[in-house]
Amino acid sequence: MATQFEDSYHRKFYYLRLSITDVCNFRCTYCLPDGYKPTHKNSGFLSVDELRRVVSAFAHCGTSKVRITGGEPTLRKDFTDILSMIAEQDGIEKIAMTTNGYRLEKNAQAWRDAGLTNINVSVDSLDPRMFHQITGENKFDLVMRGIDAAFDAGFEQVKVNAVLLKDLNSGELPAFLNWIKDKPIQLRFIELMQTGEMDSLFERHHVSGVSIRNHLIANGWLMKVRGKSDGPAEVFCHPDYKGEIGLIMPYKKDFCDSCNRLRVSALGKLHMCLFGDYGVDLRDLLQDDAQEDALVARIQGQLADKKQSHFLDQGHTGMTPHLASIGG
Ligand code: SAM
Ligand code: SF4
């Protein structure tokens, strides 16, 4: 193994978040409220071969988990080929994806067979009308059938992401808890993050996850210990529930201390942080397998500059116009 990716704060990077497209077919109010609009001269998203070289370099430097994201990653026609390719890379133990669930019902089995090990589906509300209002799409039933299909295909647990939105879904905690009572779903509430293109939505709808945390602790939920390639959620379990609750609170002090992930965008830019000020182009080093040493060296060089924390709490959103642009 080449040298493990590590930054100057001794954080080790086991987890690659790989965006494979920034295209999306939903219009989530907090992400792409006006739908997808291409903003770059389309030089094309990374090909399967280019993606393979990214994953191979990361795997050789200690990465054991890859999350495929976007935009909506499953809109890529070669999505299954990408899964198979990642599954062939030595050292990659987990292949996860984050999806809006649009294609899950039809494809859950094929994706599992290709090597997908973990699924996160975004479901912001259990009320179909509220789901429509938040995502811009009347697809609640389709997404729910997708989650059932994932269980039928053999996934033992499905993670569900819900962005916490004051006055929209913030009163749904009882319904969500009831939903996961007998289902092995890890429901993860994500605090709304401010991004560059977001209008007053943040002021109107941001709400802290602390009240949920307090409610859980007061009602017998226990915090679980984090694994080395786990994401940033604080996860709680309860003896009476098959499901679990995760809380992702990026505005919490010390949130970045446990950072274990790096990002590569669909256009081949390395991002040290979701809210960084720049991305570093890797694409010129993704054209030939023989360039791997140079690729690793460029990534190592950037790690020295990784900041200790984002500055979200000071309203600094970096270069990120919305999370679909570099992969949330
Ligand atoms: N399209 C896929 C989906 O929605 O699951 C994957 C990409 S999406 C950018 C990844 C995750 O980021 C989703 O769970 C979404 O709800 C979340 N997200 C997007 N914008 C956000 C924001 N401003 N604050 C918090 N979470 C956000
Ligand atoms: Fe699309 Fe996901 Fe953004 Fe919603 S959160 S608009 S599904 S990329």
Q: Taking the domains of the chain in order of start, what are their residue ranges? A: 15-325
Q: pLDDT value at position 80?
A: 98
Q: Residue 193: which of 27, 16, 18, 30 has the closest Cα?
A: 30
CA of 73 relative to ligand 2 center, distance in Å: 10
* Residue 128, CA distances (Å) to 162, 192, 305 in order: 14, 20, 44
Q: Which atom of ligand 1 is nearest to the CA of 198?
A: 23
- Mean pLDDT lowest among 9-13, 191-195, 203-207: 9-13
Give the C-alpha separation, 264 to 32, whole Å.
Answer: 20
Q: What is the rounded average pLDDT of the residues 281-287?
A: 97
Q: Residue 315 pLDDT > 90, yes or no? A: no
Helix axes 128-135, 140-152, angle to 10 degrees: 100
* Residue 116, CA distances (Å) to 96, 283, 319 in order: 6, 25, 31
Q: Does 312 contact ligand 1 (Cβ within 6 A)?
A: no
Is 283 a known ligand-binding residue? Answer: no
User: In the CATH scheme, what is the homologous superfamily, with its name and number, of domain 15-325?
Assistant: Aldolase class I (3.20.20.70)
Is 237 a known ligand-binding residue? Answer: no
Average pLDDT of the chain, as a whole number: 92
Is 273 a known ligand-binding residue? Answer: yes
Q: Which atom of ligand 2 is nearest to the CA of 71?
A: 8
Q: pLDDT value at position 117?
A: 98
Q: Residue 272 pLDDT > 60, yes or no? A: yes
Q: Residue 231 pLDDT > 90, yes or no? A: no
Q: What percent of the chain has pLDDT over 70?
A: 94
**Ligand in closest contact with the CA of 72:** 1
Q: Residue 123: which of 12, 11, 243 has the closest Cα?
A: 243
CA of 325 relative to ligand 2 center, distance in Å: 10
Q: pLDDT value at position 228?
A: 72
Question: By the 8 A CB rule, do 283 and 46 touch?
Answer: yes
Question: By the 8 A CB rule, do 186 and 161 touch?
Answer: no
Instruction: Tell me which range, 3-7, 55-59, 228-232, is most confidently predicted by mean pLDDT.
Output: 55-59
Q: What is the rounded average pLDDT of the residues 41-56?
A: 90
CA of 190 relative to ligand 1 center, distance in Å: 9
Q: Which atom of ligand 2 is nearest to the CA of 322?
A: 3
Question: By the 8 A CB rule, do 136 and 27 touch?
Answer: yes
SS3 12: strand
Q: Residue 224 pLDDT > 80, yes or no? A: yes
CA of 168 relative to ligand 2 center, distance in Å: 17
Q: What is the pTM of this model?
A: 0.94
SS3 23: coil
